[in-house]
Amino acid sequence: MPRFSANLGFLWPDRPLFERIDAAAAVGFRAIELHWPYDIPAEPLRERCENHALTVLGLNTLIDPGKGEFGLGAVEGRQADFQAGFARAAAYARAIGAGSVHVMAGDVAPDRKAAAAELFADNLRWAAGQAPDLTLLLEPLNARDRPGYFYATVGEAAGVIAKVGAPNIKIMFDAYHVGVTEGGVVERLERYLPLVGHVQIAAVPSRAEPDEGEVDYAAFFRALDRLGYGGWVGCEYRPRAGTDEGLGWPSTLGVAL
C-alpha cells in the first residue's frame, strides 16, 4: 500500500504552518511536504516535525508571484538569482532534514524555449553538483493552471534529465497535472517510473480529494504497488470543504494514511 504525505501547501490552508503539522500528525500522516516555508525559522520547524516523528520530504525553490515569477530555472538573464535561490532552498532543506528540492523552471515565451532548455540544463547541472546529498525534482505543470510555464509534459521533464545526466535529478510525477495535460496516467507512470522521485495526487480536473473525477486512484494506487514504487505519495489537493471532513477518501479507495 502506498505511503502518503500531507502537502501542507494545500491541506489545512486556514491554519498557521505549525498547526498544519500538528493536524497532519493527528490524522495519521507520517510525512509532510512543503511549498514555500521560508518565512518560518527552520530549527523550530524541524523540532515540531521530530516531536511528531514526521518525515519531512521537501520544499520548492522560491517564487515571486508579485513579479509574475514561478521559478527561475529556465528564465534567461536570471542565472545569478537562480543560483542564490537554489542555495537558499538547499540550505533550508538541509536545516529541516528534508531530502528533496523541487527546482521550479519558471515561465518562458514560446520563441525562447530552445534557449531556455539549454539554460535550464546548465542551471540544473550546476545545482546537482552543489547538492549531491539532495534529490532535485522536476515537475511539469499543466497549462490550464499555469499557462506559459516552461514545460507541461512528463516527456519534457525526462528529456531535461537525459540532457543533464545527473543521477540526483528526478521527476515529480503529479498525477493531477499529468491527467489534465496528457491523460493515460497509469501508462505514463509505468513508462517513466525509473525517473520518478516523488508522486503527488489530486482529482482531475477539480484538484479536490482524489475520490472523484477522471483518474481512478484506486487503480493508480494498485499500479504503484504492482510497479514496486517505494517512495511517498503527496496529497496535494484542495479540500472541497474542510481538510478533516474530506479525509474519507482513503477508506473509499481502499488505502490508509
Interface residue with Mg ion among 198, 200, 223, 243 (CB under 5 A) is 200
Residue 141, C-alpha cell as written in the block: 505543470
Work out what residue 160 binds among ligand LCNOYBR7, Mg ion, none; the CB cut-off runs from 5 to 8 Å by kind: none
**Nearest distance in Å: CB 193, ligand LCNOYBR7:** 19
C-alpha to C-alpha distance for 232 and 32, rounded to whole angstroms: 10
Q: What's CA 67's distance to the chain center, in Å? A: 22
Name which of 102 and 188 has its Cβ closer to ligand LCNOYBR7: 102
Could you tell me how many residues of this chain bind Mg ion (CB under 5 A)?
3
Name which of 144 and 226 has its Cβ closer to ligand LCNOYBR7: 144
**Measured CA angle at 103 (ends 89, 97), to 5 deg:** 40
**Nearest distance in Å: CB 200, ligand LCNOYBR7:** 6
Residue 209 is a binding residue for Mg ion (CB under 5 A): no
Question: Using an 8 Å Cβ cutoff, are 103 and 74 in contact?
Answer: no
Residue 33 is a binding residue for Mg ion (CB under 5 A): no
Name which of 213 and 222 has its Cβ closer to ligand LCNOYBR7: 213
Q: Which residues are identified as catalytic?
A: 139, 236
C-alpha to C-alpha distance for 82 and 76, rounded to whole angstroms: 10
Question: Using an 8 Å Cβ cutoff, are 181 and 142 in contact?
Answer: yes
Closest CA to 200 of 61, 37, 26, 33: 33
Cα distances (Å, whole numbers) of residue 94 to 89, 99, 105, 246: 9, 7, 21, 32
Strands 169-174 and 135-138, how do they pair? Answer: parallel
Question: Using an 8 Å Cβ cutoff, are 234 and 34 in contact?
Answer: no
Residue 113, C-alpha cell as written in the block: 524555449
What residues make contact with ligand LCNOYBR7 under the rule CB under 6 A? Answer: 35, 60, 102, 139, 141, 174, 177, 200, 236
Interface residue with Mg ion among 9, 34, 78, 174 (CB under 5 A) is 174
**Nearest distance in Å: CB 109, ligand LCNOYBR7:** 20
Name which of 180 and 224 has its Cβ closer to ligand LCNOYBR7: 180
Residue number, nearest CB to Mg ion: 174
DSSP letter, residue 112: G
Residue 100 is a binding residue for Mg ion (CB under 5 A): no
Residue 135 is a binding residue for Mg ion (CB under 5 A): no
**Nearest distance in Å: CB 196, Mg ion:** 13
Work out what residue 102 binds among ligand LCNOYBR7, Mg ion, none; the CB cut-off runs from 5 to 8 Å by kind: ligand LCNOYBR7
C-alpha to C-alpha distance for 40 and 96, rounded to whole angstroms: 11
List residues near Mg ion by CB under 5 A.
174, 200, 236
